[in-house]
Amino acid sequence: MALLEVDGISAAYGRVRVLANVSLHVDAGEIVTLIGANGAGKTTTLRAISGLVRLTGGAVRFAGRDLAKRSPDEIVRLGIGHAPEGRRVFARMTVRENLELGAYTRSSRTEFDEDYERVLDVFPRLRERLTQKSGTLSGGEQQMLAIGRALMSRPQLVMLDEPSLGLSPILVQTIFGVIRDIAARGTTVLLIEQNARQALTIADRGYVLELGKIALADTAGNLLASDAVSAAYLGGAHA
Ligand SMILES: Nc1ncnc2c1ncn2[C@@H]1O[C@H](COP(=O)(O)OP(=O)(O)OP(=O)(O)O)[C@@H](O)[C@H]1O
Ligand SMILES: [Mg+2]
């Protein structure tokens, strides 16, 4: 059984349909990437899974449980972490306070301390800046904080929406290394990336979303080798 099963979901903003019958699944231990052009509906898909966008059809199941009618809060508690698009950190709070907020679903002090240490091991830059106001962090540091905060709920599945957006080439490498590391530590990953080639390089499988519909689903290797994917999403010629 898949850990996450998105089964024919549809969603709309007002009267504009954005997702039409989207199905995908993520097995425990996998890194799965969702790629597609701007506006294809990638962010909306993650928001629908997190309960932030209402479904107009279909179902989402996580570890066998139907997520319909559950609040975003409950969905976090069930084990889905979500680092949203655009480095949403609480600017006036410190780094430490932001990480504490990520753990709001949990009550065990010991577990909190363990996760806190683990996140700071993954992001040593954050450890040096625990008392700094998050709004004064660099863009890359804010991105790390957004990912770190999502990991603080000790999710079984973490969804990352454009984690490398706007980062320098070196930081992009760091972030992809971190994603691999997160997966190696046992967290399943659903990853959205504009940087499709990099994403497919670390992923097991991928889906291509076009205008709210799944256009292709395959192993990451096959998608990387596909001429159609290459032309549309990987900047042309094979690397
Ligand atoms: N709150 C909203 N109200 C109205 N339309 C919206 C809203 N959010 C997104 N949309 C529209 O829904 C479509 C899908 O948006 P979404 O953010 O899911 O795309 P995306 O694939 O994540 O794109 P990008 O790569 O640019 O982040 C777009 O046409 C967008 O304009
Ligand atoms: Mg998006």
pLDDT digits (tens, 9 = 90+) for 92-142: 999 999 999 988 777 788 888 888 998 998 889 999 999 999 999 998 889
Q: Which atom of ligand 1 is nearest to the CA of 37?
A: 25
* Average predicted confidence (pLDDT) for the chain: 92
Q: Is residue 239 in some structural domain?
A: no
Overall domain count for the chain: 1
Ligand 1 lined by 13 (C-beta under 6 Å): yes
Q: What is the pLDDT of residue 220?
A: 97
Q: Look at ligand 1, atom 6, and give the residue with the nearest C-alpha.
A: 13
Q: Is residue 57 in some structural domain?
A: yes
Q: Is residue 238 in some structural domain?
A: no
Ligand 1 lined by 195 (C-beta under 6 Å): no
Percent of the chain with pLDDT over 70: 98
The Å distance, Cα 110 to ligand 1 centre, comes to 39
Q: Could you tell me the sign of the dihedral formed by the alpha carbons of 208, 140, 175, 238, in that order?
A: positive
| pLDDT tens-digit map of 170-190 | 888 888 998 998 999 899 999
**Alpha-carbon span 13 to 26, nearest angstrom:** 26
- Are 181 and 166 in contact by the 8 Å Cβ rule? The answer is no
Q: Is residue 91 in some structural domain?
A: yes
Q: What is the pLDDT of residue 232?
A: 85
Q: Is residue 32 in some structural domain?
A: yes
Q: Which atom of ligand 1 is nearest to the CA of 36?
A: 21
| CATH, residue 37 | 3.40.50.300
Nearest alpha-carbon partner for 41 in 4, 99, 88, 85: 85
Domain range for 154 is 4-233
Q: What is the signed CA dihedral for 25, 202, 224, 192, rounded to 10 degrees?
A: 50
9-28: average pLDDT = 96
Length of the chain as a residue count: 239
| Per-residue burial over 177-207, b = 16 or more CB atoms within 10 Å of its CB, e = otherwise | ebbeebbeeebbbbbbbbbbbbbbebbbbbb
Q: In the structure, what pLDDT confidence band is assigned to residue 86 with cuts at 50, 70 and 90?
A: confident
The beta-strand segments (E) located in 27-153 are 31-35, 55-62, 65-66, 80-83
Q: Look at ligand 1, atom 17, and give the residue with the nearest C-alpha.
A: 43
Q: What is the pLDDT of residue 236?
A: 63
